[in-house]
């Protein structure tokens, strides 16, 4: 284990100008620092036991169930509600008003009255209101083809087709996992100081993992027979994610900085390893082979996405060929490998970064505790404008441009009135720019720079130009948090929101990204993750493959 009193050696961290570009952020892969991985390790360390005190399902799988787990000294219960949804109402779009299943993660063990309340309100989702005992609200729809096929095979005494399980990978997919006070559920502050729940999105990840187990139980109940454990392990929980998630990275810059800093520090630490043991080399070779198979199994209809996967497939054998016995037995093998990877695509580089971190939990897992932060952006009115100007010259050259040209202000972010969800409009084709959300950080700072020619303090500047308050705050905060800002124009024609989605989803632990446009994607969570009775072996499921 890592000595907490001695800072481990590390190479220099990659610069924000490299890391914080949308294209590279959009090539993110899950790592052992991803929140699902952290959750499962904590559950395993606590020898957590999951019970199912309530199973009130009819023969067709409609009804409700309750799962309870003691975690960090507190009991949490998932209340799952399954309803008979007409096919014409089934959609992953945010306009949906009904779903196959709905869920609440409850703080404690719900009484009969509380279960009845949740069973009545959870299927209504946004149309209902919840209480401080409700920590997370979610809903999911069936993958109708695989769910029906699995039921049919189980009833016939068989198992679902392995190829179909491999190609789809989940029985249900969530369309929202709400936390932090939405619709009356508990604010994160209610449980953030509890043991094991202080990390980012721990309550949401616990909800997703429990939902995944419920989908297994439900299909076995309706099918009347157990699933093969190998097939069951490969059935994760799907997710459909759109623009609603993208602005989070902009509105939480200090949290983004904490996530990226932790990951980049992990990479810098493993690059500094002077020599590898034979067992460690063996693990790396095993992961290289696993990643190759994962890429072979990863097929998407999206042309751009598939082209990137195909390029990775071509490059991966070339990368593997660099890992000769002489290199791996020599000095600084991982740093040599990393430097050599610069000739490959961004996607291949980022997959390699995740792979290199994977075998070295004892060296990097302590960084998990740094991924939550109470820091927030602050404003220093006493700063001289000359100093602010120097910060802009040093950190914001990428933002300086002419935002009057159509390509530079092609789109605008806004919040829909109907669903209170973020959306994108085309500035030169659609109305609504007057209601624009302030995600145009680059343009804001460029406008600030134009008014910084005079001297004096920031306070005096803001007295003259109060419209620059948010931009000043961002510039000053970035000085202390180098990975806090996405270094691209988020209203420009070239901005692809899906890159923002993939960055955040990679930190969740998502894999098998399946983009449906540049604004939404399907993913798989918990694929390969341990089942409820396998928590003792909770940590070897990075980029799972079907026969792993």
Q: Examine the pLDDT at 418 and tell me if it is beyond 80.
A: no
- Indicate if 58 and 162 belong to the same structural domain: yes
Q: How many CB atoms within 10 Å of residue 175?
A: 21
Shared domain for 222 and 341, answered yes or no, is: no
| Beta strand 236-241 pairing with 170-178 | parallel
> Does residue 420 carry a pLDDT above 80?
no
Q: Which residue has the tokens 């989940």?
A: 170
Q: Are 517 and 241 in contact (CB under 8 A)?
A: no
Using the 8-state DSSP alphabet, how is residue 457 labeled?
B
- Please say whether the beta carbons of 205 and 212 come within 8 A: no
The residues pairing with 356 across neighbouring beta strands, listed in sequence order, are none
Q: Does residue 389 lie within any of the structural domains?
A: no
Q: How much is the average pLDDT of 298-303?
A: 93
- Calculate mean pLDDT across residues 365-385: 94
- In angstroms, rounded to a whole number, what is the distance separating the alpha carbons of residues 484 and 255? 8
197 and 286 housed in the same domain: no
* 340 within some domain: yes
Is 548 a domain residue? no
CB-based contacts of 501, cutoff 8 Å, min separation 6: 241, 242, 245, 246, 520, 521
Confidence of residue 2 (pLDDT cuts 50, 70, 90): low
Residues 283, 206 share a domain: no
Task: Summarize the confidence of residues 301-323 as an average pLDDT.
Answer: 96
Question: What distance lies between CA 387 and its chain's CA centroid?
Answer: 36
pLDDT at position 94, please?
A: 65
Cα separation, 348 vs 352, in Å, equals: 6
Assigned domain for 135 exists: yes
Distances (CA, A) of 151 to 62, 86, 156, 209, 528: 14, 18, 9, 22, 21
Whether 68 has a pLDDT exceeding 90, the answer reads yes
Write out pLDDT tens, residues 429-476. Answer: 999 999 999 999 999 999 999 999 878 999 999 999 999 999 999 999
Q: Tell me what the mean pLDDT of segment 477-495 comes to.
A: 95
Residues 120 and 102 in one domain: yes
Per-residue 3-state assignment (H helix, E strand, C coil) for 160-209: CCHHHHHHHCEEEEEEEEECCCHHHCCCHHHCCCCCCCCCCCHHHHHHHH
Above pLDDT 90, what percent of the chain? Answer: 88
Please state the domain count of the chain.
2
d(CA 104, CA 203) in angstroms, rounded, equals 11
User: Which two tokens mark 318?
Assistant: 């070339």
pLDDT-based confidence at residue 547 (cuts at 50, 70, 90): confident
- Residue 366, domain member (yes or no): yes
Query: Which pLDDT belongs to residue 442?
Result: 97
DSSP run (H or E) holding 52: strand 50-57
In angstroms, the CA 20 to CA 256 distance is: 10
Residues 225 and 271 in one domain: no
Q: Does residue 96 register a pLDDT over 90?
A: no
Confidence at residue 240, expressed as pLDDT on a 0 to 100 scale: 87
Residues 228 and 324 in one domain: no
| Same domain flag for 223 and 337 | no
Q: What is the pLDDT of residues 196-223, one digit of tens each?
A: 899 999 999 999 999 999 999 999 999 9
Residues 73 and 187 in one domain: yes
pLDDT in tens, 136-190: 999 999 999 999 999 999 999 999 999 999 999 999 999 999 998 888 999 999 9
Q: Give the model's pLDDT for residue 548.
A: 46
d(CA 510, CA 502) in angstroms, rounded, equals 8
Average pLDDT, rounded, for the chain: 94
Same domain? For 203 and 258 the reply is: no
Helix (H) or strand (E) run with residue 478 in it = helix 469-480
Q: Are 177 and 203 in contact (CB under 8 A)?
A: no
CB neighbour burial string for 279-311, b if at least 16 within 10 angstroms, e if fewer:
ebbeebeebbebbbebbebbebebeebeebbee
- Statement: residue 292 has pLDDT above 90: yes
Measured distance CA(131)–CA(129) in Å, rounded: 7
H/E segment holding residue 80:
strand 74-82
| Pair (200, 268) in one structural domain | no
Q: Would 457 be classed as within a structural domain?
A: no
User: Looking at the structure, do residues 194 and 87 belong to the same domain, yes or no?
Assistant: yes
Beta bridge partners of residue 497, listed in sequence order: none
Contact predicate 383/457, CB 8 Å: yes
CB 174 within 8 A of CB 138: yes
- Letter string b/e over residues 182-216, b meaning 16 or more CB atoms within 10 A of that residue's CB: beebbebebbbebebbebbbbbbbbbbbbbbbbbb
Residue 526 included in any domain: yes
Examine residue 267 and state whether it is found in any structural domain, yes or no: yes
Q: Which domain holds residue 140?
A: 35-242+520-537
- Please report which confidence band the pLDDT of residue 4 belongs to, taking 50, 70 and 90 as the band edges: low
Cα separation, 290 vs 542, in Å, equals 9
Phi, psi of 175 (to 5 degrees): -115, -5
Tell me what the mean pLDDT of segment 349-363 comes to.
Answer: 98
The dihedral over CA atoms of 412, 418, 420, 422, expressed in degrees to the nearest 10, equals: -30
């Amino acid at each position: 284990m890592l000595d907490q009193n001695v800072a481990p050696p590390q190479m220099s961290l990659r610069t924000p100008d490299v890391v914080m570009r949308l294209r590279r952020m959009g090539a993110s892969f899950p790592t052992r620092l991803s929140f699902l991985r952290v959750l499962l390790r904590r559950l395993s360390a606590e020898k957590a036991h999951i019970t199912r005190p309530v199973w009130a399902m009819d023969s067709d799988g409609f009804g409700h169930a309750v799962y309870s787990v003691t975690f960090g000294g507190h009991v949490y219960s998932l209340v799952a509600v399954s309803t008979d949804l007409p096919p014409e109402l089934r959609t992953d779009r945010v306009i949906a008003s009904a779903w196959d299943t709905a869920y609440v993660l409850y703080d404690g063990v719900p009484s009969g009255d509380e279960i009845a309340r949740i069973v009545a309100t959870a299927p209504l989702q946004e149309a209902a209101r919840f209480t401080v005992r409700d920590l997370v609200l979610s809903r999911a729809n069936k993958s109708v083809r695989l769910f029906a096929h699995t039921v049919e095979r189980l009833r016939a005494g068989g198992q679902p087709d392995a190829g179909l399980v491999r190609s789809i990978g989940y029985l249900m997919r969530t369309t929202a996992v709400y936390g932090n006070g939405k619709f009356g559920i508990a604010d994160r502050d209610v449980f953030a100081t509890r043991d094991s729940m202080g990390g980012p999105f721990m309550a949401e990840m616990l909800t997703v993992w429990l939902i995944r187990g419920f989908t297994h139980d439900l299909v076995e109940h309706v099918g009347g027979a157990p699933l093969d454990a190998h097939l069951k392990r490969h059935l994760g929980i799907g997710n459909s994610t759109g623009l609603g998630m993208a602005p989070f990275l902009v509105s939480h810059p200090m949290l983004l900085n904490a996530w990226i800093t932790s990951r980049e520090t992990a990479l810098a630490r493993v690059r500094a390893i002077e020599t590898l043991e034979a067992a460690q080399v063996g693990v790396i070779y095993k992961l290289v082979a696993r990643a190759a198979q994962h890429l072979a199994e990863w097929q998407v209809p999206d042309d751009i996405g598939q082209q990137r996967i195909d390029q990775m497939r071509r490059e991966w054998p070339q990368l593997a060929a660099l890992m000769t016995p002489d290199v791996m037995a020599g000095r600084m093998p991982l740093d040599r490998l990393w430097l050599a990877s610069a000739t490959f695509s961004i996607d291949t580089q980022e997959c390699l970064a995740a792979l290199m971190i994977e075998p070295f939990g004892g060296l990097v897992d302590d960084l998990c505790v740094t991924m939550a932060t109470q820091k927030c952006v602050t404003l220093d009115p006493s700063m001289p404008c000359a100093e602010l100007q120097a910060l802009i010259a040093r950190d914001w050259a990428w933002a300086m441009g002419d935002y009057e040209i159509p390509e530079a202000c092609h789109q605008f972010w806004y919040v829909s009135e109907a669903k209170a969800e973020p959306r994108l409009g085309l500035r030169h084709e659609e109305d609504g720019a007057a209601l624009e959300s302030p995600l145009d950080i680059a343009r804001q700072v460029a406008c600030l720079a134009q008014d910084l020619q005079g001297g004096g303090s920031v306070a005096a500047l803001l007295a003259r130009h109060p419209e620059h308050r948010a931009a000043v705050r961002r510039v000053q905060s970035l000085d202390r948090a180098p990975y806090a800002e996405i270094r691209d124009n988020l209203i420009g024609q070239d901005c692809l929101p899906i890159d923002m989605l993939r960055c955040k989803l990679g930190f969740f632990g998502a894999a098998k990204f399946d983009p449906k446009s540049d604004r939404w994607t399907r993913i798989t969570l918990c694929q390969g993750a341990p089942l409820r009775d396998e928590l003792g072996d909770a940590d070897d499921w990075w980029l799972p493959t079907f026969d792993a």
